[in-house]
Structures are given as C-alpha cells and as structure tokens.
Structure 1
C-alpha cells in the first residue's frame, strides 16, 4: 500500500505527512465557564461562541487547513467580474480530473443543491438516494419532490464491520425506477453518507447503480463533497482497486455519473463549490439559475481567490498522502474510544469520529434528543464542540410529531491537518470520563424551535439540573484542572 509506515516499537498511530508552519492560539476555559456557555447557546453547539471552544470538531466544512500552494495561488487571482482567468484555470483542473467540460460555480454545496432541485425537481418528483442529507432533502421538498432512501440493512447496524455501508440497494432502485417511470428527475449518490457515520460506497456498487440508471434513463447525480474520504476507502478496502491511483479511481467514478457537484469547503479545502456535467441539455437547464441565485457564470458567488485555492486543492486531493490524513486520524480516535468501551460507529468512516449516542445514553429517549444532549455533555466535559446528527437534525412530520432519526450520532469532525495527536488523545480522555459518568446526563427540550433546519439556530434547555451536576462531578474528579 502507498507509503505505509510501521513503527519499530510496535505502536500503531497515523503519521502526519505535513509540517505545521502557521498556528492559531486556543483557549481552554473552566468547566463552570463551559456550563455557562452551553446555556447561553441554548444547549445547541452551533450557537456556541468560538472563544469558549477548545477543540472545534463541529464540522470539516470550510475549516480544513489550506496548503502553502493554495495560499500562494490566491495571490495570483484574476479579480474580473466576467471572463476571469481564475475560472478558466479551475475549469481546466476540473475537466482534467473529472472529465466533464461544463462547469457551474456556486458559493457552497447547498447552493448546488438549490440549483439542482430548482432546475430538475417538480411537484410529485421522487428522488432515490443511498441516504439523505438535511439540506438536500429540504431543497427537494421545497420544490415539491420527495426523497426515497434505498440503503442496505447493514447501513443502520452501527456495530457492523461491513466496509461499504453507504452502498445503494440496487435491486430496490431498479424496482423503484420501473414503478416510478418518468417521475424520477435524478438519482443521487452521496459519497460518505454524512448522517450515518460517513460510511462509503464501493466502486462496484456505483457501477451497478449507474448501469441501472442508464437503462431507465434517469440521470445519476453524485454529491462529491466527501469524495476524498470515499476515495481512500475504495483504494484501501476494495481489493480490485488497490492497484489503481486516486486519479484513476476518481475519473472512473465521474464517468459513471451524469452530474457531479460538491462543496469545496470539504472537497478541495477552499470555500466554494461547483456543479460539473458533460451533458449539454442538463447544463442548459441549470445554467440560467447561476446568475439568478449565485453570481455571474465565472465566479458563482465565490471570491476569485477561493477559486484559485479550489483549483489547487482539487489537484492536491489526488495525492494519497493528503486524503489519508482524515480517515486515519478518525480511525485512530474511534479505535481508542472503542478500546475504552465507548460506543462508536464501526468501522470508522469519513469526516469524523461518530459516537453512538443511543448506546452511550440509553436512558435518554430520542424525543429528548439523545445525540443533542450528548453534544452538550461532551462540551461541558472538555470544551470539545461536536455536531448532533440525530432527531434534532430532522424536521417534524406534517402533523407536528417528531420524525425520529434512524441513528442518534454525535459527530466529532476531524478537519484535515488541523488537530495534533495530543489534542485527539485529550478528546478521547474527556469522552472516556464522560462515558464513566453517563448516568448524570439527561435530555433536552425546546425553548425556540424553527420550522426549517431547526438544528442550525434552535434553542433548547436541559431537562432538570443535569448540566450543573455533571460540572460538579468534573470538579470533584479533576480538582483545579481545566
């Protein structure tokens, strides 16, 4: 395997293939200040002020470390409103990597979802996918469509060691496309199913999915935001692809899809996004919406400096040493927690280490937001900010009842090349302590609940005084320590 490193002493941990040249100071506040901060934030980690956060594991979106080459490229940007050569350089890179000549720039991934849904989804349209993402479903439903998830049973078995839990159920897809002939605007595959632990699909599964889509005349759309992690897993877990380069696997994936879109805040370590296709008809349906929603066709709402950084970042994503960093750090963290009995999603996927909140807090029911309560508790325990991926991230049913999530996860994102090994070990230590004191943690209830994407800005409060009791136990066990 490419550059596998073994240690003479027998230890096993990932080796960083980069050096740190610019640093940013962090602050670790007291547990009492952490309790006050989480209360001020309405027990919603999205609303925490970052000066109270020690390790920000909320997301990898827009917070991956940029390379020296990306920063240098930003200084060469062509700041023209129209006809920018920065855009031309990005188009050259995307066509070389993905083989698709038509490029539509957007300011981030959910903007791409808006363009796709607005152009292609109509009332009653059905969009099959391997698993939904929050904003994707919201855009599809806003345009009158609905989402049908076609995942395999192993996808929701958080303890299963199946290497490709993100696979599409191709038999179910074939049946749906027959049943809904003419009513499916596109089929969506998400690289690294975000809401069930960043679990990948295999190239073999994508090949079967593509063949079925083409036989039924349904465009196959790839959300490639987490493609870097999926590429790593294809190369390391799929025997038939171990001899292929990352660039070769990427082109094969792109050739199987009619549209590829992504958030460059994840793929490429910049801040922007893009929609790519080789299909002129699909391109012409989407193109008029870019000036309407995003900006002119050669910047799409992005700074041209970010366009230059994206072009370099996409090229760097073809480097195995670059893409291995995230999954290997995540795997290390998950293995360390698992060794201490802490329930995690297995096997470790991409984007972050995922805690199984229902197994961590079996006494906290889903309608008290199990994963949200765990997110607040982890912050109190160590100043570590994670993201709830469970019922809190869902939206209510039309009758007002809760749409209980398939899984209650706390995602602890590990942005590429950001955290050190000692910081990961610190997070493991504080989560281990919390697990030993998990019976102190209670649930949450709403105080302010938005109707759409409530997890971003809604406010909750603890049911009872469990946050104070958890802080008191921390002080009892750690004394004056932070």
Structure 2
C-alpha cells in the first residue's frame, strides 16, 4: 500500500476545512426539486424519509449503508469474479483479506450485518439471557429479543450528554458491567457486545483501554466478547486521534488489536468496505462450527453467503482500503466540519463529532414538540421540505411500544445526517449547513407527527405518519418568503 497521508492540512487564513484526498472520475446527476414538489413528496411518503423516492432527493444523507463510493480498484476487481456456486475463488480472496485485516481464521459470509446478528443470536441466546452492551442497534435489539434475550445498555454517564468533550462516549461502564454480572450470574450472560462507534447515540467510539477493561471482566467470568465491527475503521481512526497511546500506531494495527479482544467479530460490509454483504469471523473452531449450519439455511452456501461474487471481490479490496488513513478519515473529517460549523451557529449538535454522520439533538432544536409527537421525525421531514436533504430519524420512531401500547421513549431524539465515504463535496456540505441554520432560526414553525400506519416490527422503515396540524404549509410559506424562487 502507498504511504498514508494525513487529511489535516494547515491553511494560510483562519478557516479550516477538510480536503478530499481523491478525485472524482464518475459522477451521478442530482436534482433539487422546487419546495412545493418536496412538500408533495413528503406527504406521499407519509412523513417518513425512508419512503421518499430518490428522484425527489437532493443530498441523500439517510445512511452510509451501501451508499459509500467504491474506489476504482474495487470496481475493477469485480470483473475477475468467479461465478462458481461452491468453491468460488472470489470467496477465498475475500477470506484472505478478512484474515489479514481482522486477524480471524474462520469466516462465514452473510448477505448483510443483520443476517450476522440473526445467526449469532440464534446460536448463543436462550430465553432469560441478558446481553450487556455499550448501546443497542435497532436490528440487534430485535434479533436478540426474538430469541428470548434482554439487552442492557451499560454506557457511561457521559454517553447521553449532548455537549461533551469526552472523546469516548461509546465506552462500557465497568462498574455497571460487574454489577450486572453479579446480579444475574455469568451463566445467563452469553456474551458482551461492543459496537464500534455506537450508531444510535451519535456514532460515538470506544477506546482500546475500555476494551482491555471489558475483556478482563469477560475473562474473569468466562464470558465471550462479541464485536460489531461495522464502523470499526472509523472507531480505529478516533482511537488514533484521541487516545494518546496510539497516536503513532497505524490504523491497520489498531484495527487488528480491537479484533484481538473479541471472540467473535461480525460486520456489515455495506459500512466497513463500501459494498454490500457481511460476515462473521472467529479464531475458535468450536464457535465456528456452532454457527456454520445456519449459513446455508438462511444465507446461501458457505462460499457466497447470499452475496454476489462481484460484491465479494469488491469487499476484499474495500477491507484493505479501510486500513488506509486517506480513505477512512474522509467521512469523519467532513462530519467534524459540519458539527463545528453548526455548533458555531448555536444549532444543538452532538459533540464531540462521531462516526457515520452529523447528529442534531431534536429535543433541543424543537423543545416545543413533545417527545410523544416524534420531534426527530418531524425535524427530518422539515429539513427535507426546505432543502431536499434526506436524513434519518434516530429516536422514538425507531423505538417500540410496551405491552400497554405506549411508546417506549428513546433516550435521545436525533436527526442523523449521514456522510457516506467520498460522496459529498464541500459545497454540498455548506449548502446543508446553511439550510439547517435557516431551519433553526425558524424552528417554531415546525410541529409534531402522529402515526397513521404503524407496522408491529421495525416501524421506522415502513410506518406512515402525518403532521398534527398545518405546520408544513406554514414552513413552506416562510421559506418562499425568505428565498423567493430559489430552490
């Protein structure tokens, strides 16, 4: 691999901003529809940004899953794919890359990260088990509870603070972990799960020291450690930037060290290597055998696991590129820029900047909207209306109802604006910042939402909502008053 370079560049003036360490060779046309068309589109989508048609979206910041830009080397690698159903050479190239990057001998391919969660949950969780973790992800929680487990989020006191200078808000609280194991007994804890760059609380990373401490507890009680490595590259980047012990350590070595602590590593390739797919990795042959039979049952044969061989080839290249600092730091640097600029404008954003996206605190942004009226969902809809930028609600809409049918209110109400790797330009980022700033100045115009169609499981994907009053029309009227015919 070529010599790695830092993306941090000193400018002559006072302004600092990220510089792309890549050039754009292939482009995809975007459309910025008139505000009236955007209002019509969000109405047809049931005020759920997941249900918007991409032809109506300007900047698609819904997620980084499967939306990262692939490199020239990834695209060219797809041309040598081996289409064999069994024994494909493409799989063995991917297996070698995983062994090199993650340091795990045994590999099980799956079609995406939630498929890995299904396998791990079915094999290791039984009714009555408790699973401690730094924070849950929506599909993780669903799979574990379907198999009879109960999750416990044992984050530190800093984790849910909106404004903080704590560099590792994704750490597990060791005292809470010890207390949990003492209360329930180690035999009811199948594993401890750590998520690299916690998705639902602002993409916040954990430190190597915290992994060491968690591993010591796990070993003392004979409990496995499971690592969700979907954003492991970004977590490794933050460790290099924020944990002094590792400031001179390569991303590749940090990444390997993180995986060394875990008995099982699973991941979504849609995030970790800019292509579709996923996998489960371990060095323990017995653990491998326990999981192996479910892959042909749910995913496909053991050398493709539900993925096309072209995706497998691109994954192998993308895994290696994840260890390149000029690749892995592009998204965090743009997120940091957006967070810094919005914070200057008093917009309530999660600090410090994390992985995956810029996270706006909807309860501070819209304090007049009750949490039962889904402020994060309302903010996502409002931002789309006035900008064409599609973000994702990460709050109570992404939660569930209790046995009485009442919403289990989320710990945080966040609007996540994802920054897929190497997708957006600085001018597009500045456009986003400008529109968020305008919306914040006019935030009192935004009202709440209510469900009109609500699926029983993972309702945030397909549920439909409606505004509680006529606030979208008032928002559009104010936008046209300030911007005229501008889009």
CA distance in 2, matches of 1:369, 1:300: 38
CA distance in 1, matches of 2:289, 2:404: 39
- Tell me the secondary structure at the aligned position of residue 27 of structure 2: coil
Pair 1:152 & 2:138 matched: no
- Tell me the secondary structure at the aligned position of residue 139 of structure 2: helix
Deviates further, 178-187 or 239-248 = 178-187
CA distance in 2, matches of 1:67, 1:170: 40
- Give CA deviations for 1:159-178 in whole Å, capped at 9, x if unaligned: 11111000001121122223
CA distance in 2, matches of 1:47, 1:301: 25
- Tell me the secondary structure at the aligned position of residue 266 of structure 2: strand
- Tell me the secondary structure at the aligned position of residue 84 of structure 2: coil
- For the Cα contact (< 8 Å) 2:111–2:277, is it kept in 1? yes
Alignment partner, residue 311 of structure 2:
306
- Tell me the secondary structure at the aligned position of residue 265 of structure 1: helix
CA distance in 1, matches of 2:196, 2:259: 12
Shift of 1:2: 5.1
- Tell me the secondary structure at the aligned position of residue 248 of structure 1: helix
The one of 365, 368, 375 equivalent to 2:370 is: 365
The one of 156, 173, 177 equivalent to 2:177 is: 173
- Tell me the secondary structure at the aligned position of residue 153 of structure 1: coil
- For the Cα contact (< 8 Å) 1:178–1:216, is it kept in 2? no
Alignment partner, residue 200 of structure 1:
205
Alignment partner, residue 97 of structure 1:
101
- Give CA deviations for 1:278-315 in whole Å, capped at 9, x if unaligned: 01111111100000000000000000100000000000
Alignment of 1:394-433 (within 5 A): 394-433=399-438
CA distance in 1, matches of 2:328, 2:42: 33
- For the Cα contact (< 8 Å) 1:13–1:332, is it kept in 2? yes
- For the Cα contact (< 8 Å) 2:186–2:222, is it kept in 1? no
Alignment partner, residue 82 of structure 1:
86
CA distance in 1, matches of 2:89, 2:5: 35
Alignment of 1:218-237 (within 5 A): 218-237=223-242
Alignment partner, residue 111 of structure 1:
115
Alignment partner, residue 482 of structure 2:
477
- Tell me the secondary structure at the aligned position of residue 159 of structure 2: helix
Alignment partner, residue 457 of structure 1:
462
Alignment partner, residue 322 of structure 2:
317
- For the Cα contact (< 8 Å) 1:65–1:269, is it kept in 2? yes
The one of 27, 37, 48 equivalent to 1:44 is: 48
- For the Cα contact (< 8 Å) 2:233–2:255, is it kept in 1? no
- Tell me the secondary structure at the aligned position of residue 163 of structure 1: coil
Alignment partner, residue 379 of structure 1:
384
Give me the CA root mean square deviation. Answer: 0.9
Deviates further, 169-178 or 117-126 = 169-178
CA distance in 1, matches of 2:269, 2:165: 30
CA distance in 2, matches of 1:170, 1:78: 47
CA distance in 1, matches of 2:101, 2:422: 23
Q: How many residues align?
A: 482
- Tell me the secondary structure at the aligned position of residue 275 of structure 1: strand
Pair 1:60 & 2:64 matched: yes
Pair 1:326 & 2:312 matched: no
Gaps of 5+ in 1: none
